[in-house]
Amino acid sequence: MFYVIEPTKKIKINLRELWQYRELFYFFTWRDIKVKYKQAVLGVLWAILQPLIGMLIFTFFGKVLKIPSDGIPYPVFAYSGLMLWTMFASSISNAGNSMVNNAHIIKKIYFPRLIIPTSAIFVATFDFMMAFVVYICLLLYFNVDFSVAKLLAFTFISVIIIVVTSFGLGSFFSALNVKYRDVKYIIPFFVQSLMFLTPVIYPTSVLKYDWAKYLIAINPISGAIDLSRNVLLSKSLNIELLAVSCISAIILFFVGLLYFKRTEEFFADIA
Amino acid sequence: MEPILDIQKISKKYKIRGFEPHYLMLRDVLSKKNRKRSKNKEEFWALKDITFKVFSGESLGIIGKNGAGKSTLLKILSKITPPTKGRIISRGRVASLLEVGTGFHPELTGRENIFLNGSILGLKKNEIKEKFDEIVDFAGVEKFIDMPLKHYSSGMQLRLAFAVAAHLEPEILIIDEVLAVGDAEFQKKSLGKMKDVTKEGRTVLFVSHNLQAVNTLCKRSVLLEKGEIKLDGPSNEVIRAYNNEIIGAIHEWTGVNGDEHAALLKTKVYSDANVFYTNRDIYIEMEYEVYENITNLVVGFHIINEFGCHILYVLRDDYDTKIESITLKGKYKERFKIPANHLAKGTYTIAFDLGIHNVKKIASDESNLQFYVMNEDSYGCRFPVIDAPGYSGIFRPNWKI
């Protein structure tokens, strides 16, 4: 094994090295999941309770405010949005704080730093899988008509979009957080505000103008939620809107990645 | 032969912002006040043009005062932070133990922590599985292995941490102050393990303030001072230089210290090795001149240990049975020998004494020499325990009949 340690000039993403450290992704994810649920009396149940309680609250308001739901029973409608949104929200906050939370390790041992925010997103993905099981139960309970293959395929793509977006935003925030500790307080505010700009508790169809739909689609989570809800609808998917979301997700991915790589070498000095 | 580590002109610059923390609050950036202050950023070179080579199988000690740049150098070598200038060519997998137990989580069990910590240190899951029993056995925590780490005593945690670290098998191992953990018995085990590592032909870079440990483990050492290499050579020489520097010790003095009757001209403490070892003779020499015939001249010295304890007083003619002795005018040279296996490890001060009995002091308590005695390898330490109280008494005798 031969390598050179030099002042870094170019941003280089060493995929081979990431592959060599693949087990560490697993261990960090595993650690966070274990620790998270070890002391909680209800344990893994919390992964389900979060969107479930959200669903009950929003169902109440949804009924009061008569929010349309494209013909899907409102609880199912709200839950389908909330489970994906919860995944995104916890990905961003887990990842955004991950570098600072693991500063003690970063300062002592070398490994590809990207593993840390990525693992934080995997933890949120694990929670999502628990929540998804409940989703299927809800679909059966409310007797909603759907095709299993389509559900799995579309949800899978939705999850990919969310992971890609979260990775971009999460690694950006995590790097920024090392330098500016305010980021910790900005993240919850950011997530909360963004939720109302995302069709979580209302359908995209409430937007009257086409340009508004495109504007909303720039937020990749809109695309992801619409895609997964499309399984329950008879109308066909608006591919253009989805494409906007996907492109936006990819742009966010690279912006976050580049910012992270550009600043990572100094994490150990300032963390 | 090509060196396994080739360190070429490494420099590292830090910007210091006074007493501010390294990270910022956004308001600091937004407010003008800080913008002004940030202009006054000071540059600080933690390392300057560090160049040395390490060959495969060598164990190198890195010593120096706090702030000399030891930790920065290790951080660069273990890729935690990049150098500002220069480059390092490495021909082996590096594992660094800058702190044992990095990544340990109190909520996880001992078993889980072994896997987590091992993985962070770069072990593969299968490697950890293979060595699991050995690690648990080494740490001596079999009974508690499935208990959360928070219920472990701090000693048990350290033992477990060291056990995981000790089972890494990289080509180059970087160790920073990890031997100072655990009780006497565990230290013995740790030191033994470190010795095995060097015997297996792996390269070890060892940073410690424990000079005894450095001398035991490393043949060669590098002395850093203010970010630069001050000395690079055999450990005993480098350690001696370092010791002299930290305690400001001088082993030799020449001058004239006295009055019209007599004067001390030269004093010296030395041994046949470069360093003072507990198991070797230590010689003390004094030269003086007597300007007139003096009755009952006092020539000798005191030795005071590092705790300020006066441990001995020796005279040239203590055991002379004559009641009166006359020292004739002239130059004299006196040699004393502290036989091997007398003084224990430690720093000693010699206060020379020249005077006329019951009349006056001519030269005393001045021209103090200091010397640092340490154990040679494991000689005189059948069970080498670093810093164990048993080996730091006043004497280190060899009394078995």
Which of A31, A106, A270 is nearest residue B23 as measured by Cβ atoms?
Answer: A270
> For the residues A209-231, what does the mean pLDDT come to?
90
B110-120 helix and B154-166 helix, angle to the nearest 10 degrees: 40
Q: Find which of B5, B47, B120 to mutate to test the A interface (most A CBs within 10 Å of its CB).
A: B120
Say whether domain B5-245 belongs to CATH 3.40.630.90.
no
Say if B122 is an interface residue toward chain A (CB within 8 Å): yes
> For the residues B356-375, what does the mean pLDDT come to?
79
Instruction: Report the share of chain B in percent with pLDDT over 70.
Output: 84
pLDDT of residue B212: 75
pLDDT of residue A271: 66
Domain membership of residue A4 (yes or no) is no
> For the residues B108-115, what does the mean pLDDT come to?
92
Return the half-sphere exposure (C-beta side, CA atoms, 13 A cut-off) of residue A34.
Answer: 15
**Quick one: pLDDT band at residue A141, thresholds 50, 70, 90?**
very high
CB contact residues (below 8 A), chain A span 121-160, against chain B? none
Using CA coordinates, name the residue in chain A closest to B7. A5
The order of strands in the sheet holding B85-90 is: A3-5, B85-90, B5-16, B42-54
Q: Residues A162, A13, B50, B63: is their CA dihedral positive or negative?
A: positive
pLDDT of residue B22: 58
Which of A23, A31, A108 is nearest residue B105 as measured by Cβ atoms?
Answer: A31
CB contact residues (below 8 A), chain B span 57-86, against chain A? 75-86
Rounded-to-integer distance, Cα B336 and Cα B282, Å: 8
Which of A178, A182, A268 is nearest residue B80 as measured by Cβ atoms?
Answer: A268
**Quick one: pLDDT band at residue B389, thresholds 50, 70, 90?**
very low
Say if B34 is an interface residue toward chain A (CB within 8 Å): no
Chains A and B form CB pairs within 8 A to the count of: 110
> For the residues B41-65, what does the mean pLDDT come to?
88
Measured between beta carbons, the chain A residues lying within 8 angstroms of B86 are: 6-7
pLDDT of B120 higher than 50: yes
Lowest average pLDDT, out of A60-69, B109-118, B296-305, B324-333, goes to A60-69
- The residue assigned the tokens 């102050």 is B177
pLDDT of B388 higher than 50: no
pLDDT of B136 higher than 90: yes
Residues A5, B88: C-beta atoms closer than 8 Å: yes
Q: Between these two residues, B285 and B93, which has the higher pLDDT value?
A: B285
Asked if B303 contacts B349 with a C-beta cutoff of 8 angstroms, the reply is: yes
pLDDT of residue B387: 47
pLDDT of A64 higher than 90: no
Domain membership of residue A26 (yes or no) is no
Beta-bridged to residue B234, according to DSSP, are B220
Lowest average pLDDT, out of A195-204, A219-228, B173-182, B384-393, goes to B384-393
Q: Find which of B44, B54, B79 to mutate to test the A interface (most A CBs within 10 Å of its CB).
A: B79
pLDDT of residue B40: 56
Residues B89, A2: C-beta atoms closer than 8 Å: yes
Numbered ranges of CATH 2.70.50.60 in chain B: 252-391
Domain membership of residue A16 (yes or no) is no
**Quick one: pLDDT band at residue A115, thresholds 50, 70, 90?**
very high
CATH no., domain B252-391:
2.70.50.60
**Quick one: pLDDT band at residue A266, thresholds 50, 70, 90?**
confident
Domain membership of residue A189 (yes or no) is yes
pLDDT of A205 higher than 50: yes
Domain membership of residue A263 (yes or no) is yes
What's the structural domain count of chain A? 1
pLDDT tens column, B218-273: 889 999 988 999 889 888 888 877 877 776 677 888 888 888 899 999 999 998 87
> For the residues A66-79, what does the mean pLDDT come to?
87
> For the residues B8-19, what does the mean pLDDT come to?
78
Measured between beta carbons, the chain A residues lying within 8 angstroms of B119 are: 23-24, 27
Measured between beta carbons, the chain A residues lying within 8 angstroms of B165 are: none
The CA distance from A34 to the nearest CA of chain B, in Å, is 8
Using CA coordinates, name the residue in chain A closest to B78. A110
Q: Find which of B26, B99, B175 to mutate to test the A interface (most A CBs within 10 Å of its CB).
A: B26
Q: Which domain holds residue A235?
A: 44-270
Domain membership of residue A19 (yes or no) is no
pLDDT of residue B379: 60
- Computed over every residue of chain A, the mean pLDDT equals 89
Asked if B388 contacts B382 with a C-beta cutoff of 8 angstroms, the reply is: no
Asked if A201 contacts A175 with a C-beta cutoff of 8 angstroms, the reply is: no
Give the number of other Cβ atoms within 10 Å of residue A239's Cβ.
9
Residues B79, A8: C-beta atoms closer than 8 Å: no
